[in-house]
């Protein structure tokens, strides 16, 4: 009879940060059938040991709830696994990238697409974009496509432009821009929806190819301690890949889908119609894969200078920004989804872009008031008191890309300037106003784990050491909550995830240092020793002191 009431696993002699309402810290936790059974002192939890209980002696190591990253792009990250990686520190100059392009072209042979990602002009020694003509010299017989780290612009060569049907007479598409030289010749730099002119002629990846990439991405997430994520670009091939991996027993990271609609493509609006006609509401699915929201692209990029703003930007086209979806179409999509019980996630970076998104949510609520709907703003970057007041009044939940601060903060500061940068990702003010926000770094837009993101939230420092908006710095415990309980709240899963409490799903991580007692700089070096999802170990850096009672 003892085993009926005993735990499957217990962790003892630790510093377990529960992130409950009181931010309690306990010594031990018990897990049974994939859920937390009890928390308390080591002697109390040892009473739950049975004949088959696994006992993990933490030896004072720190435990946190599993990390919930509220905005990532696993599908994009999966596709980038096999492509040229133009990210620093390996890549420091245009010459480095051109060398890799040539090498890949030689490997593939003439006529094959050379694909790459993660380039950032401001992080290259030349501090400029690569031109089509430079790419031509590196790969004269291959079309070349390189996506920026933000995903909002790309570089292509002359063969790619030819295949895409882009020449000096091609008009800029709505919501996009073709960069041109003084003679109006396309330079190979395409902004926002103009990138689709190129991507539509590139052969898509297969589900099998994506699955292999997904396995690497999920392994990386587990190493970072991410046990649940919100996929901000759920689309057909990626969703199929998720389902097939789950059938094959790959259960490492829980995924909430923001199902992407692309209204400029014929199937875009039809997807919204199909979901609502099928009666799919937010929450459709299970604990491993479910529909969370409808994802709508609003404005452009903060780092790329295409965000929707009221005053001109200092990077990219240097204007008031681009709307990737027209406001009237966003309004139609939001209203249709809202009336059908489907929450919306709207990409909103600039202050004007945020206002446009809030206008649509406000109109939908006036047509059909629904309490606690929790529509979302994705990124919520340049957000002034005016927008914050509206967010609070409408009950909107921002998924704040505070993780940008470390990797892209210098570009954001350059683009928005001193005055507007004061209101980049205003977490302190949101806390004071009672706005519940999640945290993310939009992986793979920037590519580092959640503790680097927490460092950015606590210190407001970029990777160059610049401090941006120090008034908005928050405490470490508040940053931990940002990536645990708050993330669960944004998915309407706070009753099941986000804290270490009896009855909740047993997702937790063991880390290598007591971050609550150390300087913030220690966050940059923090490593995950063990990641447990649903009570099972999915990642382990080295074997902890484990024994099985018998």
Residue with tokens 């990642």: 539
- Over residues 45-60, the pLDDT tens digits come to 999 999 999 999 999 9
Mean pLDDT, residues 102-107? 96
pLDDT one-digit tens code per residue, 443-491: 999 999 999 999 999 999 999 999 999 999 999 999 999 999 999 999 9
Q: Of 544, 546, 537, 533, nearest to 35 (Cα)?
A: 533
DSSP string, 485-506: HHHHHHTT-TTTSSS--TTSB-
**Do residues 268 and 297 lie in contact, with contact meaning Cβ atoms separated by under 8 Å?**
no
**Contact (Cβ atoms closer than 8 angstroms) between residue 276 and residue 337:** yes
- pTM score, whole prediction: 0.94
CATH 3.10.310.70 fits 76-199, yes or no: yes
Q: Where are the domains of the chain?
A: 2-65+505-548, 69-73+206-490, 76-199
Domains 2-65+505-548 and 76-199 share a fold: no
CA atoms within 13 A on the CB side of 310: 11
Q: Residue 265: is its pLDDT beyond 80?
A: no
Q: Could you read off the pLDDT of 392-401 as tens digits, one per residue?
A: 999 999 999 9
How crowded is residue 320: how many other Cβ atoms within 10 Å of its Cβ? 17
Q: What is the pLDDT of residue 3?
A: 64
417/328 Cα distance (integer angstroms): 30
Q: Do the Cβ atoms of 297 and 349 come closer than 8 Å?
A: no
Least trusted range by pLDDT, from 254-268, 327-341, 371-385, 492-506? 254-268
Q: What is the mean pLDDT of residues 83-98?
A: 91
Element at 282 (helix H, strand E):
none
User: How much is the mean pLDDT over the chain?
Assistant: 95
pLDDT confidence bin for 544, thresholds 50/70/90: confident
pLDDT at position 202 over 90: yes
CATH class, domain 69-73+206-490, is alpha beta
pLDDT band at 264 (very low <50, low <70, confident <90, very high): low
Specify the CATH number for 2-65+505-548; select among 2.60.120.620, 2.30.40.10, 3.30.70.270, 3.80.10.10: 2.30.40.10
pLDDT (mean) for 428-449: 97
What is the DSSP annotation of 211-236? HHHHHHHHHHHHHHTEEEEEEEEE-H
What one-character-per-residue DSSP string does 352-404 give? HHHHHHHHHHHHHHHHS--TT---EEEE--B--HHHHHHHHHHT-EEEE-TTH
Cβ neighbors of 253 (< 8 A, separation 6 or more) are 218, 221, 222, 226, 227, 228, 229, 533
């Amino acid at each position: 009879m003892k085993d009926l009431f005993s735990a499957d696993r217990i962790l003892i002699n630790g510093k377990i940060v529960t992130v409950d309402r009181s931010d309690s810290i306990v010594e031990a936790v018990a897990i049974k059938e994939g859920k937390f059974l009890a928390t308390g002192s080591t002697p109390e939890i040892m009473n739950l040991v049975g004949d088959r209980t696994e006992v993990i002696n933490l030896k004072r190591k720190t435990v946190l709830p599993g990390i919930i990253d509220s905005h990532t792009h696993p599908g994009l990250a999966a596709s980038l696994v096999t492509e040229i990686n133009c990210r620093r520190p390996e890549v420091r100059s245009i010459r480095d990238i051109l060398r890799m392009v040539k090498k890949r072209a030689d490997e593939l042979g003439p006529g094959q697409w050379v694909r790459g990602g993660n380039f950032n002009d401001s992080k290259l020694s030349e501090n400029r974009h690569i031109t089509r003509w430079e790419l031509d010299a590196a790969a004269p017989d291959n079309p070349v496509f390189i996506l920026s780290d933000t995903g909002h612009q790309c570089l292509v060569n002359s063969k790619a432009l030819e295949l895409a049907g882009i020449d000096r007479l091609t008009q800029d598409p709505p919501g996009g821009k073709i960069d041109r030289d003084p003679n109006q010749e396309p330079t190979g730099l395409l902004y926002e929806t103009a990138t689709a002119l190129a991507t539509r002629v590139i052969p898509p990846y297969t589900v099998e190819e994506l699955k292999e990439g997904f396995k690497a991405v999920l392994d990386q997430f587990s190493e970072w301690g991410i046990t649940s994520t919100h996929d901000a670009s759920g689309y057909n091939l990626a969703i199929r890949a998720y389902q097939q991996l789950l059938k094959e027993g790959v259960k490492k990271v829980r995924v909430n889908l923001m199902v992407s609609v692309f209204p400029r493509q014929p199937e875009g609006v039809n997807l919204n119609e199909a979901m609502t006609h099928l009666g799919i509401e937010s929450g459709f699915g299970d604990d491993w894969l479910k529909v969370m929201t409808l994802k709508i692209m609003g404005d452009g990029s903060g780092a790329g200078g295409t965000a929707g703003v009221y005053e001109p930007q200092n990077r990219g086209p240097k204007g008031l920004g681009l709307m990737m979806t027209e406001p009237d179409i966003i309004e139609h999509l939001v209203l249709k989804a809202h009336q059908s019980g489907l929450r919306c996630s709207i990409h909103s970076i600039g202050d004007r872009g945020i206002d446009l998104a809030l206008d649509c949510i406000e109109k939908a609520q006036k047509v059909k008031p629904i309490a606690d709907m929790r529509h979302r703003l994705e990124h919520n970057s340049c957000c002034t008191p005016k927008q914050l007041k509206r967010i609070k009044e409408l009950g909107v939940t921002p998924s704040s890309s505070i993780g940008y601060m470390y990797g892209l903060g210098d570009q954001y500061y350059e683009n928005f300037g001193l005055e507007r940068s004061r209101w980049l990702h205003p977490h302190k003010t949101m806390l004071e106003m009672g706005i519940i926000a999640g945290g993310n770094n939009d992986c793979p837009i920037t590519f580092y784990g959640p503790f680097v993101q927490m460092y950015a939230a606590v210190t407001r420092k970029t990777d160059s050491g610049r401090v941006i908006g120090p008034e908005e710095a928050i405490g470490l415990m508040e940053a931990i909550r940002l990536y645990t309980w708050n993330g669960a709240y944004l998915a309407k899963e706070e009753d099941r995830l986000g804290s270490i409490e009896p009855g909740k799903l047993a997702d937790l991580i063991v880390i290598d240092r007591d971050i609550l007692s150390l300087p913030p700089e220690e966050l940059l070096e923090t490593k995950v020793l063990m990641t447990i999802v649903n009570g099972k170990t999915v990642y382990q850096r080295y074997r902890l002191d484990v024994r099985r009672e018998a």
